[in-house]
């Protein structure tokens, strides 16, 4: 992602809809928040009218757009001339727009990209991310599960977005152009973007209370590996994996080979460090034998191992894990207890 000096414009509400239509007319695949029963989910949509009118955050995260639930890594076929490999990363990836992401959704692409590109470039992820345009909208409301401001984020944070729109008191939107991709959108739609508004965005953002200091947590976690808190805070956990599947940063996956005689496919699918099978050895030994050890791993990975390695935490404070937990486990309870 090429980040440039932010340029500001004003855009009127009808022009926002027109921008969506222009992107759809250019054949872009658009994912946006859409009602699904009682939930709002990022889903593919074709018309502006399909979008959910009012939502805090979607129940699922935007990671599905670049890291699908399951996908083919490659397939192979033995022939008389040798083995033919079909690598899906060789096929051009479509241009995709993520519309209506929140600042925490966009910020999550930073640790997610670190995971998939830091030591080894995962072409499936990387090609999708390169072709993804992220058009986010600042938050003007929050709930008790939100804690973006505790993990270096915020309701108007621009990190990870190509353009961030913020609704102003006039009903118009401030459009902050953050990357070259965002600038291209302005260049392709010049009549929709007007001179920068005079109103600042700060007064139009949600007030998200800061609940902890991430640097302090990172430092404390070096000493708390054997703490009884892990067992205590995970006692109600059912090991269902819901918290991991909705998390925009969690990226554990499993690899499965499906072989059929002389041909086969290698697949990868989401997995979770909260599942007992995740670390079960063939011998029957499990180095993380109980839910406490698994919960500790999840917290340590996000708040210590990832920031130790790349200076960015593996949590953006979206609160999805806590909202979705059937056992009422709230990640904030653990982190603030630390």
User: Which stretches of the chain bind ligand SF4, using CB under 6 A?
Assistant: 237-243, 246-249, 274, 302, 315-321, 324-327, 329, 331
Q: Are strands 132-137 and 163-167 parallel, antiparallel or unpaired?
A: parallel
| Closest CB 321 distance from ligand SF4, rounded Å | 3
* Residue among 11 and 104 whose Cβ is closer to ligand SF4: 104
| Burial class of 248 by CB neighbour count within 10 A (0 to 12, 13 to 18, 19+) | buried
* Residue among 228 and 328 whose Cβ is closer to ligand SF4: 328
How many Cβ atoms from other residues are within 10 Å of residue 224's Cβ? 16
* Residue among 165 and 278 whose Cβ is closer to ligand SF4: 278
* Residue among 85 and 238 whose Cβ is closer to ligand SF4: 238
* Residue among 86 and 216 whose Cβ is closer to ligand SF4: 216
In the DSSP assignment, the letter for residue 173 is E
| Closest CB 126 distance from ligand SF4, rounded Å | 21
| Burial class of 50 by CB neighbour count within 10 A (0 to 12, 13 to 18, 19+) | middle
| Closest CB 62 distance from ligand SF4, rounded Å | 11
| Closest CB 249 distance from ligand SF4, rounded Å | 5
Q: Token pair for residue 37?
A: 């029963």
| Closest CB 235 distance from ligand SF4, rounded Å | 10
**The residue count for the chain:** 338
**What is the residue whose two structure tokens read 């008191």?**
169
């Amino acid at each position: 992602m090429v980040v440039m000096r932010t340029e500001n414009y004003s855009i009127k509400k009808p022009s926002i809809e027109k921008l969506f239509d222009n992107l759809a007319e250019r054949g872009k695949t658009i994912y946006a928040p859409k009602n699904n029963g009682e939930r709002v989910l990022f889903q593919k949509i074709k018309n502006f009218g399909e979008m959910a009118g009012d939502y805090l955050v979607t129940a699922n995260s935007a990671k599905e757009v670049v890291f699908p639930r399951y996908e083919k890594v490659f397939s192979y076929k033995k022939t008389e001339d040798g083995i033919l490999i079909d690598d899906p990363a060789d096929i051009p990836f479509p241009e995709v727009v993520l519309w209506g992401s929140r600042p925490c959704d966009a910020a999550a692409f930073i640790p997610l990209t670190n995971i998939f590109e830091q030591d080894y470039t995962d072409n499936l992820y990387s090609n999708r991310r390169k072709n993804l345009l992220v058009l986010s909208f600042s938050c003007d409301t929050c709930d008790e599960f939100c804690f973006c401001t505790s993990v270096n984020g915020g309701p108007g944070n621009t990190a990870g977005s190509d353009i961030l729109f913020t609704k102003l008191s006039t009903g118009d939107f401030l459009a902050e152009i953050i990357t070259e991709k965002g600038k291209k959108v302005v260049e392709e739609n010049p009549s929709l973007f007007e001179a920068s508004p005079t109103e600042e965005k700060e007064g139009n953002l949600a007030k998200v209370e800061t609940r902890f200091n991430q640097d302090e947590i990172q430092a404390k976690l070096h000493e708390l590996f054997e703490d009884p808190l892990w067992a205590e805070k995970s006692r109600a956990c059912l090991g269902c994996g819901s918290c991991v599947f909705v998390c925009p940063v969690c990226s554990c996956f499993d690899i499965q080979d499906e072989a059929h005689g002389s041909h086969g496919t290698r697949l990868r699918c989401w997995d979770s460090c909260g599942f007992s099978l995740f670390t079960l050895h063939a011998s029957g030994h499990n180095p993380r034998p109980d839910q406490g050890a698994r919960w500790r791993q999840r917290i340590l990975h996000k708040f210590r191992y990832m920031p130790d390695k790349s200076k960015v935490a593996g949590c953006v404070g979206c609160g999805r894990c806590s909202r979705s937990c059937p056992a009422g486990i709230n990640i904030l309870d653990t982190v603030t207890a630390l």
